DNA sequence: TAACAGTGTTTAAAAAACTCAACAACGCAA
DNA sequence: TTGCGTTGTTGAGTTTTTTAAACACTGTTA
């Protein structure tokens, strides 16, 4: 049942919001390689390269990786061209987006997507807690306490930090923030990549 | 003819030098999604997610993109790696390393090397200036002003920021900080990667 | 002109990914 | 306990990608 084996992804940007075919063709030509030469280096056939470049098929990650190895180029480099522009530089206090998660509020600097860095001005009400289920995600995070006290648990370590104290850890370690006092706690944090 | 339809990519990191399965599982769990919930949002079946996470198949770029759209996360973010060693987590106020550059002082959270994130508590004396020769380096940086005023020039844009105001830009754009007032200026900044 | 070496494209068969539906395991409430 | 809802995994069948080989086109050489 294939009366219309037309290209399933449309000819231009495809269904992926990222024009894999055009990107591969540009990269290949920028390196002065023919389809056949790249195919030989990559250990695939020239037909595969042709079809990918025309967006007539969507390569598997493993075959795309093989092809890029023949360039050579990493997957991250290949896709690291789609980051949106987004270039607001200055943010007035009133412009900071405020996010609320129960007794914790975050004032976020700029937008979340397309950046490698996220900066938050966080406020923890007395007793506020990010939850018993510990947080875990990629990247690193750190911060400095401005006011009040915060109890921070990272893996099997736990400390109570006060004004001027700071922290920095890999976000892959399970972690939890809790305000154990009667006073609001205020801190500024940064993390990479953004995760909220 | 499929006498050995075993997994072609080995169980761990696969043939791609990048463990797509483990990475997807980590990302999904970090966002608190079940395989089924992610599958529903992405418009694929839960079986697909399961097989990908076990590295029993290598998804096509278009299906991986669909899956990531349900997170949401871009392909570039997915393939961007990170490697944090070093593990001091808590830093008492007195422990913060202080660096001085003329009329500007930085109190640094943790060590500089081997991290993707650097956090600084900066103090600019009245008139302090990072110099007429504009700064330029890789990464992104941002911060929030706590006290005083700072004049920030980024490319051809210039603003004076006060308490609560913030900034965020690509460090590749030439930039310069200057305290134009009579009062000390204090701010907390973050940048990635570290550059001092 | 013909013969050749290079290019990218296209087709049928083989291989791999994807779907659908069933399965086993766990936690939780009745 | 039973029952229900959830989790992740698995097998049979369908769809898509990949291969291998042929095709059409270009520029060069004889």
Of A18, A96, A117, the CB nearest to B190: A117
Q: Do B58 and A63 count as a contact with CB atoms less than 8 A apart?
A: yes
CA distance A1 to chain B (A): 22
- Nucleotide nearest to A48 in CA–C1' terms: D18
| Residue range(s) in chain A whose domain bears CATH number 2.60.120.10 | 93-192
CA distance A3 to chain B (A): 23
Q: Which CATH architecture has domain B93-192?
A: Sandwich (2.60)
Of B62, B92, B143, the CB nearest to A14: B62
Q: Tokens representing A62?
A: 């493993």
Probe site for chain A from B28, B62, B92, B143 (most A CB atoms < 10 A): B62
Q: Both ends of chain A: CA-CA distance in Å?
A: 45
| Residue range(s) in chain B whose domain bears CATH number 1.10.260.40 | 20-79
| Residue range(s) in chain A whose domain bears CATH number 1.10.260.40 | 14-79
| pLDDT tens by residue, A83-138 | 444 455 555 555 555 555 555 666 666 554 455 677 788 888 888 887 544 555 56
Residue from B6, B12, B71 nearest B44 by CA: B71
Tell me how far CA of residue B56 lies from CA of B61, B66, B156, B180, in angstroms: 16, 18, 52, 61
Q: Which CATH architecture has domain A14-79?
A: Orthogonal Bundle (1.10)
- Cβ atoms of A83 and A72 within 8 Å: the answer is no
CA distance A32 to chain B (A): 24
Q: C-alpha angle A143/B135/B189, rounded to 5°? A: 10
CATH topology of domain B20-79: 434 Repressor (Amino-terminal Domain) (1.10.260)
- Model confidence at A51, in pLDDT bands (50, 70, 90)? very high
Residue from A85, A121, A171, A165 nearest B187 by CA: A121
**Residue % of chain A over a pLDDT of 70:** 66
> What is residue B11's predicted lDDT score, i.e. its pLDDT?
37
Of B18, B57, B119, the CB nearest to A166: B119
Nucleic strand D within 7 A of Cβ B162: no
Nucleic strand D within 7 A of Cβ A34: no
- Each residue's pLDDT expressed in tens, for chain B with a length of 196 residues: 333 333 333 333 433 368 888 888 878 876 678 899 889 888 899 999 999 998 888 999 988 988 888 877 878 778 865 433 344 555 555 545 555 555 666 666 655 445 567 778 888 888 888 765 455 566 677 888 888 899 988 877 888 888 888 888 777 777 888 888 888 898 988 877 544 3
């Amino acid at each position: 049942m294939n009366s219309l084996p037309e290209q399933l992804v449309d000819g231009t940007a495809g269904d992926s919001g990222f024009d894999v075919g055009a990107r591969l063709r540009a990269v290949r030509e920028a390196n002065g390689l023919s389809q056949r030469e790249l195919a030989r280096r990559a250990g695939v056939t020239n037909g595969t390269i042709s079809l990918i470049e025309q967006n007539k098929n969507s390569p598997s990650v493993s075959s795309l990786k093989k092809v890029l190895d023949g360039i050579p180029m990493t997957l991250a480099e290949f896709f690291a061209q789609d980051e949106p522009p987004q270039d607001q530089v200055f943010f007035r206090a009133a412009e900071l987006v405020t996010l609320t998660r129960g007794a914790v509020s975050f004032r976020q600097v700029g937008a979340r997507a397309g950046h490698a860095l996220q900066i938050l001005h966080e406020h923890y009400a007395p007793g506020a807690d990010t939850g018993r289920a510990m947080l875990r995600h990629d990247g690193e995070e750190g911060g400095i306490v401005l006011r009040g006290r915060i109890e921070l648990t990272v893996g099997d370590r736990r400390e109570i930090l006060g004004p001027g104290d700071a922290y920095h850890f890999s976000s892959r370690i399970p972690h939890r923030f809790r305000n154990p006092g009667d006073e609001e706690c205020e801190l500024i944090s940064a993390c990479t990549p953004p995760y909220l």
